[in-house]
Amino acid sequence: MLSKRIIPCLDVKDGRTVKGVNFVDLKDAGDPVELAWQYAQQGADELVFLDITATYERRKTMIEMVKSVARQLNIPFTIGGGITEIADAEALLNAGADKISINSAAVKNPQLIADLAEVFGRQFVVVAVDTKLVEGRNMVHLNGGRLITELETEKWIKQAEDLGAGEILLTSMDHDGTKQGFDCNLLQTISQMINIPVIASGGAGAIDHFTEVFTTTGVDAALAASVFHFGEIPIPVLKNELKKHNIPVRL
């Protein structure tokens, strides 16, 4: 059985790591390159960096950060934010990123998923989906959760897989930053529905939440931010606890 992955997520704004609750009230959480190095030392399996306010001007800043991170790390890392065309992805991959994550751009132009998969291989393409329950339906949101779409989450994820996504990063906006646990019902539904890896995101607040998501859903990885950034859950402690529950992890 493949090891379950633990993935710290670093939301980057103006070159700093930030963290909020339900996608708002952002607080500074440190230098992303320094945090990345610390997580690699602690045993993180991968890292995700999301440029949450990506613009053309900041793209150059992100490329320099990717180069700095690549020099520090010996684990895979994914970069997302502001990738709207092949050239954006190419620049980030050339700078040292292992995978790229697309969200709003994929919804606006689904063909981008297919194009990226064709050029780089589907294993490089992570489709991030921000979802929120609206009148009983899971709906896709864009622009850091600020814009609701007419897309139902389940349908969009299936379409993304069919187009060539290699992995789905699914964030529950209702759970994000609350530390009340992952949205296990939705994650189980999605992981049963598709044949590519699912990364659970949104809601981690205790070790039990990681145990629960791995034992009750078919997700391949769990992603969290503040519990790692602020030292609430040390990764070695988390992995040892998961191993006690017979969850395969890389120690």
Which residues have a catalytic role annotated?
11, 130
CA distances, 81 to each of 101, 135, 180 (Å): 7, 28, 26
Contacts of 135 (CB under 8 A, 6+ apart): none
Question: What is the C-alpha to C-alpha distance for residues 52 and 14, in angstroms, rounded to an integer?
Answer: 9
For residue 247, give the DSSP letter.
-
| Closest C-alpha among 148, 205, 155, 206 to residue 173 | 148
Contact 126, 157 (CB under 8 A): no
Sign of CA dihedral 4, 116, 109, 101: positive
Radius of gyration, CA atoms only, the chain = 17
Contact 21, 67 (CB under 8 A): no
Question: What is the C-alpha to C-alpha distance for residues 198 and 18, in angstroms, rounded to an integer?
Answer: 24
For residue 249, give the DSSP letter.
B
